[in-house]
Structure formats: C-alpha cells, structure tokens
Amino acid sequence: MLGLLETRCFSLFSEGGRFHYEGFGFGSFMFGNIAAQVIAYCLTGAVLTFLGYGHLSLRRWAAKLACCLMWAWLLIGLPVIAVVFFLLLASKELTT
C-alpha cells in the first residue's frame, strides 16, 4: 500500500506539481530516490507475503528464512541506529 502511495510523489515533483523543480526527470537524484523507494516497498511486500504464506502453511523453510531476515534486520539496524544517533547529536542541540 505504501509503495502505491509513494508513486504519488512522481506527480508532485513533475511539471505542474507542488514541488516541481527544473531538471526533475530520468537521471535526476530525486527521481532515482523515489523510484528506489517504490521498488523497495514492492520487493519488501512480495518477500513478506511469501514468508507469511510459508508460516501459515507451516513450511520448514519459512522458519529458516524468517530467522535469516531477523538476523539481517538486526545486523543492518544496529549500525543505522548508531549513525542516526550520532547525526542527531551533531545536528541538534538536545535539551533536558
């Protein structure tokens, strides 16, 4: 669902859109960024739908795949959390 809503961004950045800027189109950074997000949402949805079917039908491969995805999520997520934390410290003045 989010991937389909993300495609709305193309019309916002294209000519006549609210955020239009000269040079938006194939080859521009924003176009590539939006396209990558849409593709990532669609691929994530396909993988998780496939995994959900495996769990509901109690397949052996589903548990192994879920375990691999959980480890990948953890190994990718921890460094990302650290980077976001340090970016927050560097860019904002935190108050208590």
Residue 38's region, left for phi above 0, alpha for psi from -120 to 50, else beta, is alpha
> What is the per-residue pLDDT for 75?
96
- Residues 6/34, Cβ–Cβ less than 8 Å: yes
Give the mean pLDDT of 28-36: 74
Question: Residue 52 is which amino acid?
Answer: G
Q: pLDDT tens across 45-64, in order?
A: 898 898 889 888 888 888 88
Q: Is the pLDDT of residue 1 over 90?
A: no
Q: Residue 30 burial by CB count (10 A; 0-12/13-18/19+): exposed, middle or buried?
A: middle
Q: pLDDT tens across 64-80, in order?
A: 888 998 999 899 999 99
